[in-house]
Structures are given as C-alpha cells and as structure tokens.
Chains A and B, each alone.
Chain A
Amino acid sequence: DQQVKQNSPSLSVQEGRISILNCDYTNSMFDYFLWYKKYPAEGPTFLISISSIKDKNEDGRFTVFLNKSAKHLSLHIVPSQPGDSAVYFCAASGTASKLTFGTGTRLQVTL
C-alpha cells in the first residue's frame, strides 16, 4: 500500500516558468512533510519541509503548500532553472522517525 503517492513520473518545464510537483498521502497520522531533490549517483538532498500546523512554507524560489483536508501537498519552483533538473521525492513522517517516500517525479527544465 503506497501511503505517499507522486502520480506524475515526469514533468518538463521551460526555463523561467513555474514547476509544480504534486504529492498525495493517505495516512492521516502524517504530520511533517519534506521534499528532497536527487541527482543521478547522489543521495537525496533536503530541499524544504512543512509541518501540518502550516499550509505554506517558502524558501527562496521554492514554496511548499499543504492541503490537509485533501491530503495533498505541492512544491512550486519559480522561476525554474536548468539546474533544477533532477528527481524530486515527497516524504512524510508521523510519530515514528522514519520517512515514507513517494516514487519521485523527474523534472526536466528546458532552455
């Protein structure tokens, strides 16, 4: 049972435009959500997080939105840059320390 789902395996966006990556979860006990970015042959790099007591968190070009009633979160990157091309993983945690990850979305930012 996939508790964290990223239904879009890939996304292509033009440089300068907004990238929107989506994530859905099923476990209502999750209360902390993170986005990681992963380049080939490297480990995931922490990008941004959000607690369930908030509905938005912003860090530079990256903003994460959380809709608890819909069990949905999204990552907005604006403006998108070629260096943003990577696989993005959504992750969630609850009372346990372990993270539950989605299957990732490959973002390609084109010139």
Chain B
Amino acid sequence: GAGVSQSPSNKVTEKGKDVELRCDPISGHTALYWYRQSLGQGLEFLIYFQGNSAPDKSGLPSDRFSAERTGGSVSTLTIQRTQQEDSAVYLCASSPGRGVGTDTQYFGPGTRLTVL
C-alpha cells in the first residue's frame, strides 16, 4: 500500500506560535518514530510509539515538544511557542514492530519547518 505520508510538506511560522505536524504511517505498522534533521546534522531521534503509547520520549528537546498517537495510526507532533532553533526537517518513520533493533523503519518525506 501507500508509504508513510506527512503533512504539511512545508510550514513557515512566526516565533512564539504553535505548530502541529501530522504523520500517517504505513497501514498495519505498530511502531512509529519521529526524528528531526537540522541543517548539516544527522537525523536526531525525538520519540517512539508502540501502538498508542510512547515508551521512549527521551529525544524530545524540551517540554514545548509533545506528540500523541491515536487509534494506533495517525500521530501528531506539536511544538508550542516555536523558537528559531526549532527550524528543521521533521521526519516520521514507521515499522511493523516485530522486534527491537532489527525492525526496519520506513520514512516519510518530512515536514520542513521554518521559524522566522
């Protein structure tokens, strides 16, 4: 079926505003991940969902960042009171969730966030 989709593809916002980024994983994939890639950097892990619960939130950089997942499917990453350093490409990935580590993650195209 379809791959991982993300919306919007681009988002420009003003400093201090809140933004919501959406991820639709591959149908049937139980695991969902959020990463971000800042300019010139590798991908940085943010949060991992197994079903609707988030056993690993260790990568969220501050309490301005939160994420939820409903129905074991769609996930929303929310950034409150955005700052310029939040500018990055936010990538979502999903995997079948068969097991840790060896579960291949499939990525969406990303949302490019620019905070002015």
Contacts and interface: CB of A to CB of B under 8 A. Distances in A.
A99 B45 contact: yes
A103 B40 CA distance: 7
Interface residues of A, number: 28
A50 B105 CA distance: 14
Interface in B57-116: 58-59, 91, 93, 95, 100-110
Interface in A1-17: 4, 6
B43 A89 contact: yes
Given A93-B100, A103-B42, A98 B56 contact: yes
Interface string A22-57: 000000000110101000011111100101000000
A97 B42 contact: no
Most buried by A among B58, B95, B104: B104
Given A4-B42, A44-B91, A89-B43, A97 B100 contact: yes
B91 A95 contact: no
Given A42-B110, A43-B109, A97-B101, 6 more contacts: A6-B42, A31-B101, A32-B101, A96-B56, A98-B48, A99-B45
